[in-house]
Amino acid sequence: MIKAVVFDYGKVICLAPSAENRAALAALTGVPPETLDALDREYRQDYDRGEMSGREYYRLLLGKAGIVVDDPALDRIVAVDAEGWKLINPGTAALMRDVKKAGLALGILSNMPHEFLSWVRNNVPLLGEADVAVFSCEARSVKPETAIYERLRAALGCAFGEIVFFDDIPDNVQKAAELGIHGVLWSGCEEAREMLAKIDRRFPVVPD
C-alpha cells in the first residue's frame, strides 16, 4: 500500500527554463547552451551538495570553458540561472495538493544549492504544504546517492516500497527503483495522476 508520494523540484514541480532564459544565460557567460548544460551535468554535484556558492560554482564552470569573469558578472549569471527555475507548474501544484487530500504523505526530494533553496522557502507555498522536504545541500548528499533516499525514507517513517517518487532524470528514478521505491520517470501531470489513480483508489482521477 502506498503511504507517500514524493516529487522532484526541477522540471517537475517547476517548469523547465524557457529558451529565452537559456539564451540570456549563454549571452552572459559566453558559452553556448549545449556546452553549458554538458559542463553543468559534469560538475553540478558539489554545488548541489552545498559545498560551494553560486559564485564559486560558475567560476569553476566558466574556467573549464576557458572564460574568466569578475564577481559582479558571476552574481548576474547566478541570478539569471535561478530565474529559469522559479515558474511553478500549476498542474503539479494541483496534483500535490490532491495527494494530501487523498490522505497520503506529500514529499519533496530535490538536488538544490543553498542559495536557491533560500528563495524557494520564501516564495513557494507548496514547500510549506509538504510533510517532508529533503534537499541535497542540507542532506550533504545528492541524488542518485543512496544516502539521500535513506534520509527521505527515515523522514517519511515508512518503507521504501510504500513510496512513489517522480523525477525527470532516469538515473535518479533507476536508483529509487533499485531501493524498492516506486520510481517513475516524469512525463507530465496527467500521466502521473492516472498512474496514482491506478495504484491507489483513494486518489482522484481528475483534479478537484
- DSSP annotation string for 99-120: HHHTT-EEEEEE---HHHHHHH
Residue 32 lies in a domain: yes
What's the confidence (pLDDT) of residue 207?
66
pLDDT category at 208 given cuts 50, 70, 90 is: low
Whether residues 126 and 186 fall in one domain: yes
Pairwise CA distance, residues 46 & 199, whole Å: 36
177 assigned to some structural domain = yes
Query: Contact, 184 vs 166, CB < 8 A?
Result: yes
Q: Are residues 173 and 192 in the same domain?
A: yes
Residues 71 and 92 in one domain: no
The predicted-structure confidence for 130-178, as pLDDT tens digits, reads as follows: 999 999 999 999 999 999 999 999 999 999 999 999 999 999 999 999 9
Number of domains comprising the chain: 2
CB-CB contact of 139 with 132 (8 Å): no
- Which residues, in sequence order, are bridge partners of residue 4? 105, 163
Residues 73 and 140 in one domain: no
| Contact between 87 and 112 (Cβ < 8 Å) | no
User: Which domain, by its residues, includes 44?
Assistant: 19-83
Residue 39: inside a domain, yes or no?
yes
Domain boundary among 83, 113, 129: 83
pTM of the model as a whole = 0.95
Residue 205 lies in a domain: no
pLDDT digits 0-9 by tens, 13-42: 999 999 999 999 999 999 999 999 999 999
Contact indicator for 163, 182 with CB cutoff of 8 Å:
yes
Reduce the DSSP state of residue 76 to 3 states and report it: helix
Residue 180 shares a structural domain with residue 138: yes
- Specify the residue for cell string 569573469: 69
Residue predicted with more confidence, 201 or 111: 111
Same domain flag for 100 and 191: yes
Does 92 lie in the same domain as 50?
no
> Is the same domain home to 110 and 181?
yes
Whether 119 and 176 map to the same domain: the answer is yes
Q: Mean of the pLDDT values across residues 83-90? A: 97
d(CA 159, CA 111): 22
| Burial category of 127 from C-beta neighbours within 10 Å (exposed 0-12, middle 13-18, buried 19 and up) | middle
Whether residues 55 and 95 fall in one domain: no
The answer on 64 and 109 residing in a single domain is no
Same domain for 137 and 67: no
User: Which three cell numbers, joined as nine digits, stand for 123?
Assistant: 516564495
pLDDT of residue 62: 96
